[in-house]
Amino acid sequence: MEVLVFGGTIEGRALVEWLDSRGRSVVACVTTDYGASLLPQSKNVARLCGPLSHEEKLDLLDRHDFCCIVDATHPYARHITKSVASLGEERGIDVVRVVREGGESDGPWDLVSDAVEAADLLATTRGKVLLTTGSKDLKTYVNGVPSAQERHYVRILPLADAVEHAARLGIPANHVIAMQGPFSKELNEALMRQLDIRHLVTKQSGASGGFDEKVKAAEACGVHVIVIDRPCEQGGSSLEEVKTLLKERYGL
């Protein structure tokens, strides 16, 4: 039996590796070539890279005999989770959602709902900012924060498109940190001290996303933290629970 897995997240990669280790056939859908390169190089794993239209996803289901679909996409990618759920409904295939563990809502930080609120808050402050929320919302921070190009340091994935996007928005090359995380507290702390960071913007990415290491480093450096809250999810299971479910329900 084949399994269709959506998601280039840490949980998605771990699940693909686990299925591969058990000799199961997997089709793994990720957004970028970089995400595909992190997946196992195995005859059991077929990798599909790039955004797929709804019709292309349906065609994929029609060409394979998947026992289930696993949605291991990022907790902030609500539109993809909704799309994957609709696929299962249209083709009558079970969809299993992997929910990232962790996620404290209360802590020594300012909690906001999205990038717009984070930018509004930063606009009332001074000092250098470390943005660790990816490249997608960079325009919001550039347009919403005075002197953004001078203040912002952006930590993004080492992808040409992401780096070029930052450059087009006027972020200086020496303010772009293209690295794949998660990172240790020590590395985060060294970066904040080296760049004289006064504000950190992060998503509530949980333990697997390195959230604790960022917050602890900020605390050690006296850095103000702004956390973009995680969307509320209905249903779903942890990675280990999903593994158990796949073994018990499908014999994988």
171-218, pLDDT tens digit by residue?
999 999 999 888 999 999 999 999 999 999 998 877 667 889 999 999
CB neighbours of residue 66 within 10 Å: 21
Say what the pLDDT of residue 104 is.
Answer: 53
Say what the pLDDT of residue 99 is.
Answer: 84
Q: Same structural domain for residues 145 and 216? A: yes
In a domain, 120, yes or no: yes
Q: Same structural domain for residues 125 and 57? A: no
Domain encompassing residue 32: 2-99+233-250
127-154, pLDDT tens digit by residue?
999 999 988 899 999 999 999 999 999 9
Q: Same structural domain for residues 50 and 131? A: no
Say what the pLDDT of residue 49 is.
Answer: 87
Say what the pLDDT of residue 156 is.
Answer: 94
Considering the chain, what is the average pLDDT of its residues?
89
In a domain, 104, yes or no: no
Q: Same structural domain for residues 121 and 192? A: yes
Residue 10 pLDDT level (bands cut at 50, 70, 90): confident
In a domain, 171, yes or no: yes
Q: Same structural domain for residues 131 and 222? A: yes
DSSP the chain: -EEEEE--SHHHHHHHHHHHHTT-EEEEEESSHHHHHTS---TTEEEEES---HHHHHHHHHHS-EEEEEE---TT-HHHHHHHHHHHHHHT--EEEBPPP---S-SSSEEESSHHHHHHHHTT--SEEEE-S-STTHHHHHHHSTTHHHHEEEEE-S-HHHHHHHHHTT--GGGEEE--S---HHHHHHHHHHHTEEEEEEE--TGGGTHHHHHHHHHHHT-EEEEEPPPP--S-B-HHHHHHHHHHHH--
Domain count, the chain: 2
Whether 102 shows a pLDDT value over 70: the answer reads: no
Q: Write the CATH number for 213.
A: 3.40.50.620
